[in-house]
Structure 1
Amino acid sequence: MTPGMKTVLEYLTSIPAWYLATSVDNQPHVRPFSFAAEQDGKIWFCTATTKDVWEELLQNQLIEATAWWPGHGWLILRGRAGLEDRANAEMRQAGYDHLTGLNEHYDGPNDSTLVFFSVEEPKAWICNHDEWVPVEL
């Protein structure tokens, strides 16, 4: 994992929630997310095929995430959602544990409604109120 990827993942996992934006038919949609993991040198997120966000990603894969980490500034992460779910068993278990910890209900880590998507072509910046600093990914 690159140092930049490690920084981005640290931002996304050090706070209770961050926000993921999608856009369909020129209408932005923003919602809280809280699971992020690394696999194969990429950042991965988890959701369910039953959620609106998945339907939106099927229509338009462009995403943007933002996270405010008090004392560290905020992160902006842009990219394209890679919709091919290649989550390994460890990440599937972590995603399942995380989402069930939020009181969501699934039939285990291999439930067919759980889906993992990667961040392809990522670009990231960290801002501390005074400047935007690009993160090399």
Structure 2
Amino acid sequence: MNKITEYLKSCGTFYLATEENGQPHVRPFGAVCEFEGKLYIVTNNQKKVYQQMKANGKVEICGMYKGTWIRVEGEVKEDTRKEARVAMMNDNTASLSSMYTVDDNLMTVFYFEHATATIYSFHADPEVIKL
């Protein structure tokens, strides 16, 4: 799990794809953390992406770093526990503290369940990691 989290952090910006009414939607994300052995992402519960993930938890992340790229595909579930939000904030204080506080009723976190990460390269076979 640590390898996936560190890879996504190295990307700086990675892209999350959701679906609504058969139409894919992709947007940039930048905060990720590992909590209780699971990969977590964060968003604002007032955004469309939040509603899309609640309606259909099947998502994909894609990011690129130093000539390699990663695809994380799976299903996300919301974690409403304060401890999960604290872990996200502690791991991403620089990027999140200007947007959220742990108890602002806006910050929400999702974790990947039943997911697979694949790291690709033009020079090597893909590395597949089950989450």
**TM-score (ref. length: structure 2):** 0.87
CA RMSD for the aligned pairs?
1.8
Q: CA deviation at 1:83?
A: 1.4
**Alpha-carbon distance between aligned partners in 1 of 2:63 and 2:114, rounded to the nearest angstrom:** 19
Can you give the 5+ residue segments of structure 2 that lack an aligned partner in the other structure?
Answer: none
Q: CA deviation at 1:24?
A: 1.3
Residue in structure 1 matched with residue 78 of structure 2 by the alignment: 83
User: What percentage of residue pairs aligned between the two structures are identical?
Assistant: 28
Would you say 1:11 and 2:13 are equivalent positions? no
**Alpha-carbon distance between aligned partners in 1 of 2:64 and 2:108, rounded to the nearest angstrom:** 25
Q: Secondary structure at the match of 1:7?
A: helix
**Alpha-carbon distance between aligned partners in 1 of 2:115 and 2:74, rounded to the nearest angstrom:** 4
Q: CA deviation at 1:63?
A: 0.6
**Alpha-carbon distance between aligned partners in 1 of 2:42 and 2:93, rounded to the nearest angstrom:** 9
Q: Secondary structure at the match of 2:3?
A: helix
Instruction: State whether residues 87 and 116 of structure 1, in contact with CA within 8 Å, keep that contact through their aligned partners in structure 2.
Output: no
**Alpha-carbon distance between aligned partners in 1 of 2:17 and 2:27, rounded to the nearest angstrom:** 7
| Pairing partner for 2:103 from 89, 107, 110 | 110
Can you give the 5+ residue segments of structure 1 that lack an aligned partner in the other structure?
Answer: none
**Alpha-carbon distance between aligned partners in 1 of 2:128 and 2:35, rounded to the nearest angstrom:** 22
For residues 89-129 of structure 1, what are the alpha-carbon distances to aligned partners after superposition, in whole Å with 9 as ceiling and x for unaligned? 6315335652244xx3x4x2211111011011111111002
**Alpha-carbon distance between aligned partners in 1 of 2:11 and 2:37, rounded to the nearest angstrom:** 22
| Pairing partner for 2:121 from 115, 128, 131 | 128
Would you say 1:99 and 2:96 are equivalent positions? yes
Larger relative strand fraction: 2
Instruction: State whether residues 33 and 88 of structure 2, in contact with CA within 8 Å, keep that contact through their aligned partners in structure 1.
Output: no
Instruction: State whether residues 92 and 110 of structure 1, in contact with CA within 8 Å, keep that contact through their aligned partners in structure 2.
Output: no
Instruction: State whether residues 50 and 113 of structure 1, in contact with CA within 8 Å, keep that contact through their aligned partners in structure 2.
Output: yes
| Pairing partner for 2:35 from 34, 39, 45 | 39
